Amino acid sequence: MVLTAYVVDAFTDQLFQGNPAAVVPLEGWLPDPLLQSIAAEHNLAETVYFLSEGDRYQIRWFTPKSEVDLCGHATLASAFVLKTLLRPELTQVVFESKSGPLGVTISGDLYTLDFPSRPPAPVLADEHLLAGLQLPPQEVLASRDYFAVYRSEDEIRRLQPDMLELSRIKRFAVIATAPSEQPGIDFVSRFFAPAQGVPEDPVTGSAHSTLIPYWAARLGKSRLRAKQISERGGELECELAGDRVKIGGRAVLYSKNEIYIPG
């Protein structure tokens, strides 16, 4: 069996920036251990698989260590592969996922994800969270992930987490966020998921399901611009729309490869 894998840099219009995802179209689902092994072999933050189901697509995402329930950059990358390489007539794609239907609207080179809103709520901080972050946050909330709020962008940039401690937390990952100090940017963030094989994710669409409702309420506006200030970095156009969030970004193709699976 020969599969095609595309590597796409998402949430950027520049190669070697944003977040790379391996996109593997399928004609039918393969055994889960094989899907996980391919993701481990790619060793990217995410490997995404999709297959056609009528006028929609089924989609699943895997880190090098586990399957996840929601991933933004790999969903954007999948829509990019469909639009630019497989089905250029598309202006909208709907993916069926473990988190329900996820729409992607395509306008020029902008891909806008329609994701569930996951607002955070106050929680008691896990001792491993505080030990791992090392720099105490102003506030700790959570949804799927811990949500650590800091006073300034400078504090976010200075974080040097203890990944061993963060790998012991009781939640999927950690979002660290603060108001932006950059013109035209409303808030910044970083994302740490060492237990999932992703010490720091370059740009995390799913985290913005939680970031957008928080910052929309705090800043009193529904449209925002965000920047994830990892080493690679990426920018996102954000909107709160009721119980959904809109997350816009661009993408570029890095490579096209073949995967050989023994029969």
φ, ψ dihedrals at 65, nearest 5°: -120, -20
Residue bearing tokens 């709520």: 121
Tokens of 72: 């933004």
First CA to last CA distance, the chain = 6
Measured distance CA(34)–CA(261) in Å, rounded: 9
C-alpha distances (whole Å) from 209 to each of 7, 218, 255 are: 24, 15, 29
Measured distance CA(190)–CA(170) in Å, rounded: 19
The residues carrying an active-site annotation are 46
Measured distance CA(50)–CA(29) in Å, rounded: 9
Judge contact between 251 and 10, C-beta under 8 A: yes
Taking alpha carbons only, the member of 73, 109, 85, 78 closest to residue 233 is 73
Tokens of 97: 């996922």
Taking alpha carbons only, the member of 2, 7, 9 closest to residue 232 is 9
The secondary structure element, H or E, covering residue 212 is helix 208-219
92 alpha carbon, distance to own chain's centre: 19
Taking alpha carbons only, the member of 8, 9, 29 closest to residue 18 is 9
